[in-house]
Structure 1
Amino acid sequence: MTATDTIEVGTQLPPLEIAAISRTTLALFAGASGDHNPMHVDIDVAKSIGLEDVFAHGMLSMAYLGRLITDWVDPQAIRSYGVRFASITPVHGKPTATGEVVAIDDVDGERRATLALTVTLADGQITLTGDAVVAI
């Protein structure tokens, strides 16, 4: 019996709690990703369209979900991964990435788990949902 034999529908991935999103985080992610959209780093631009402040890149939240998965399985085990952006993550928002096994299948002799994924802010707002299939 291996550790993955105990994985079943309903298994929860250990949550990934992220520190509050800071302006430094946004600036560093802009540099790392090449996404320098001023909506993420320039408060004057954000205010010019009626927002109170800048907000995080959607791909930053997607990266956190990717980290949740790769903290749980080897990156080579990922068979598919996709997300849907639900709402913005404001600067100072505190996201938590979570996942749950919702199905287990055998595909060509490989045991695979389908994961339901979510990024939720401390106030309960869901900012990102997704799914992934991983070999277990």
Structure 2
Amino acid sequence: MNAGETLGPVTFAVTRADLVAYAVASGDHNPIHVDESVALAVGLPGVIAHGMYTLALVGRAVAEWTGGAEVVELGGKFVAPVVVPAEGAAEVTVAGTVGEVDADGLRALALEVTVEGRKVIGAPKAIVRA
């Protein structure tokens, strides 16, 4: 991974079954992640993916790009929901650019996380040990 190198894109299909599995694994059983009527009743456009599940997909992309390098920091701001249809899947795409290596061997990755071309995580970044 060299400074300025383009990373990606990596696309993940997110289904309602994935959300159910994540709810069980994480203990986050908020019905907006599995029940269409509840999601619509609270003003959402439909069932939405857990924010932390979406961020975990970013972590998977970083692991693919870096061959499993140590991830020192991973984060961003959730700016739009990932709406998951009842049939099929929402496609979350992660792309990025490699930054410079600092004196401690840390490298920042500037990321972009989108669904259908719309940003869903603002200012996402990862810092990995090179």
Which bracket does the TM-score occupy, shorter chain normalised?
A: 0.7 to 0.9
Residues 13-40 of structure 1: CA deviation (Å, up to 9, x unaligned)? 2321112x22111111111111111111
Is contact 1:96–1:121 with CA below 8 Å preserved after alignment? yes
Match of 2:10 in 1: 16
TM-fit CA distance, 1:44: 1.4
Amino acid at match of 1:30: A
TM-fit CA distance, 1:76: 5.2
Structure 2, unpaired ranges of 5+ = none
Percent identity between the two aligned chains: 36
Please report the RMSD computed on the Cα atoms of aligned residues, expressed in angstroms: 1.7
Amino acid at match of 1:73: T
Is contact 2:45–2:83 with CA below 8 Å preserved after alignment? no
Q: SS at 1:101's partner residue?
A: strand
Q: TM-score, normalised by structure 2?
A: 0.85
Query: Against the structure 1 CA distance between its residues 133 and 57, is the aligned structure 2 distance closer, same or farther, given a 3 Å change threshold?
Result: same
Match of 2:101 in 1: 104
Amino acid at match of 1:100: T
Q: How many pairs align? A: 125
Greater CA deviation, 94-103 or 71-80?
71-80
The 2-side partners of 1:115 and 1:14 are apart by 11
Question: Is residue 122 of structure 2 the alignment partner of residue 134 of structure 1?
Answer: no
Which of 21, 27, 30 aligns to 1:34? It is: 27
Which of 58, 63, 82 aligns to 2:56? It is: 63
Match of 1:90 in 2: 83
Amino acid at match of 1:118: E
The 1-side partners of 2:118 and 2:76 are apart by 16
Question: Is residue 117 of structure 2 the alignment partner of residue 120 of structure 1?
Answer: no
Question: Is residue 46 of structure 2 the alignment partner of residue 53 of structure 1?
Answer: yes
TM-fit CA distance, 1:127: 0.3
Question: Is residue 72 of structure 2 the alignment partner of residue 79 of structure 1?
Answer: yes
Q: TM-score, normalised by structure 1?
A: 0.82
If each structure's strand is expressed as a fraction of its own residues, which one has the higher value? 2
